Amino acid sequence: MDKFLTRSSSIPNLVNKRPREDGTSSDQWQQPKRFFTNSKETSKDREIPTNNRYRGLPVDDQTSEFYLKATKKKEVNNTPPIIIELLGDCTHQKIKDLILKHIKDFHMQYKGRNIVRVQCYSAKNHQLVKDCLLKENVAFHTFTRKDEKSPKAVIKGLPKSVHDTLPTELASIGFPECIVSKIKTLRPTEYPPVLVQLPRGTDMTKFKQIKYVMNCVVEIQRYKPNKKLGTQCFRCQGFGHASRNCNRPVRCVKCTLAHPTWECPKKENDGPARCCNCQDNHPANYAQCQARLQYIERIQSKRETLRKAVIPEITNPKINLPGMSWAKVASSGKKDQTRPRPVTPVDVAKKTLLRNTAFSQHDTNTSDPVAKTSQDFEASEMLEILTVIKSIKKEFAKCKTFMDKVILILTHLGHYV
């Protein structure tokens, strides 16, 4: 007990406290107050000393640097390729020297007879190669980069007379530099849809919120190209690319000569058109052209291959069960697929009556024809009663009062009472 007793004068933090009210002097012994302290150490307070005995090796830094270079994440290259046709005096060495004047990081791959695929690794290099090939008038085609794509929308509900002033009207409501073009329809209409090409960086969500243009109620939708017809170039009449990315030789859509369509001397009444793709008697943009159908079949097979590679087909594993045959499996499947009919009270009564009749016959095991005839008569009478009850089921449900239900039952079953 002495270890808990101390003089108040020896505690410096008690000097500023208020004096006791019971009148005890400072010379007397008094018991100090106890304070709770948590002496348990947490895991954060404890530091575990660690030591790496391989820390001083000189090869450690070189290995780490080599490991970082070897495991560097490969960047995804979204730059489209440039497809070059080696026509005339255009050779492999000429194309290679021409590209090397502008960029160093590229590779070339042959994809067929006189077809070279040039792959760049940045949008800047792609644009430099594209410009130098245009300057040298090399036959090629490429595809639109992601940074070059501009949003497109379709406006429905405007008459033909306001299509020419539509760019000015869109600029007045905050969407300048829009390119407007008409969309051809199968049937002529006074309110054809309009294709609007917006500048890059335009907020498509904000543009689709427009409800009125030139005081007309309009409907704006995002443009979706027709994948069933594919993409066809208006310059070379080829498939798979657009005219804005094409520098191949010009071909006419109505004949097989190398000139633009608007300069074709062939008129509508000068005989049938001739396709430059399949040499058949139809225009090159005919939807049922054999060259177009082959192109669509080819891209659909590629899409199906990519879909199967991304989402593999799930096949059911073959399980061999002893004693099972195809006939048993098929019969069990049919039974499972057949939905049972709901059981009614009449069915329950019939089943109970037949079971009791069978049990009574088995227990008595009598050969008395009189008893057997009486049992058959009772069974048939009960079945008749159940049949009558079943026939008046719909009428019973239509009765509104209890008395109506009693009258209905007595009317049909009164002669049995």
Residue by residue, DSSP assigns 214-268 as: TTEE-EEEE----TTT--B-TTT--BSS-GGGB-SPP--SSSSSSS-GGG----T
Q: According to the model, what pLDDT value does residue 226 have?
A: 79
pLDDT (0 to 100) of residue 118: 93
Co-location of 102 and 131 in the same domain = yes
- The pLDDT of residue 341 is 58
Q: 156 and 217 share a domain?
A: yes
- Range 394-416 average pLDDT: 76
The C-alpha atoms of residue 128 and residue 134 are separated, in whole angstroms, by 10
Residue 360 domain flag: no
Residue 155: burial class (beta carbons within 10 Å; 0-12, 13-18, 19+): buried
Window from 33-37, 152-156, 197-201, 293-297 with minimum mean pLDDT:
33-37
Q: Is residue 192 part of a domain?
A: yes
Lowest mean pLDDT among 24-33, 98-107, 117-126, 209-218: 24-33
In a domain, 186, yes or no: yes
357 within domain boundaries: no
> Which of 260, 287, 308 is the endpoint of a domain?
308
- Which contiguous run of DSSP H or E holds residue 180? strand 179-182
Predicted pLDDT of residue 1 = 47
Total domains in the chain come to 4
pLDDT of residue 249: 93
The domain that holds 202 is classified in CATH as 3.30.70
Does residue 10 register a pLDDT over 50? no
Residue range 83-97, pLDDT digits in tens: 999 988 888 999 999
Q: Are residues 218 and 178 in the same domain?
A: yes
Q: Would the pLDDT of 3 be above 60?
A: no
- The answer on 288 and 247 residing in a single domain is yes
What percent of the chain has a predicted confidence (pLDDT) above 90?
25
The string of pLDDT tens digits covering residues 312-360 is: 655 555 555 566 666 766 665 554 445 555 656 556 666 666 665 555 5
Query: Which three-class secondary structure state does DSSP give residue 185?
Result: coil
Give 159-195 pLDDT, tens digit per residue: 888 888 999 999 998 888 888 988 888 788 888 899 9
> 173 and 116 in one domain?
no
DSSP string, 25-54: -TTS-BPPPP-----PPPTTT-------TT
Considering the domain boundaries, does residue 342 fall inside one?
no
Per-residue pLDDT, averaged over 129-146, amounts to 92
**Within a domain: 411:** yes
Give the angle subtended at the CA of 290 by the CAs of 285 and 293, to the nearest 5°.
Answer: 85
- Domain closes at, from 274, 292, 308: 308
Residues 164 and 218 in one domain: yes
Q: SS3 of 378, please?
A: helix
In a domain, 24, yes or no: no
Beta strand 140-141 pairing with 106-112? unpaired
**Last residue of one domain, picked from the residues 100, 119, 141:** 141
Looking at residue 50, its pLDDT comes to 78
Same domain, 214 and 255: no
Distance CA(393)–CA(375), nearest Å, equals: 27
Average pLDDT over residues 291-314: 83
Average pLDDT, the chain: 77
CA dihedral in degrees (261, 263, 266, 267; nearest 10)? Answer: 90
Q: Are 144 and 244 in contact (CB under 8 A)?
A: yes
Name which of 288-297, 300-309, 357-366 the model is least confident about: 357-366
Whole-prediction pTM: 0.54
Q: pLDDT of 38-76, one tens digit each?
A: 555 555 556 777 777 777 766 545 555 655 555 555 566
Answer with the residue of higher pLDDT: 13 or 353.
353
**Helices and strands (H, E) in the chain, number of each type:** 11, 10
Residue 153 identity: A
Tell me the per-residue pLDDT of 240-274, one tens digit each, with 9 for 90 and over. Answer: 999 999 999 999 999 888 899 888 888 766 778 89
Reduced to 3 states (helix: H, G, I; strand: E, B; else coil), residue 146 is coil
Domain interval for residue 201: 152-222
Instruction: Give the residue from 382, 388, 394, 390 showing the smallest Cα distance to 411.
Output: 388
pLDDT at 364 over 60: no
Q: Does residue 336 or residue 18 have the better pLDDT?
A: 18
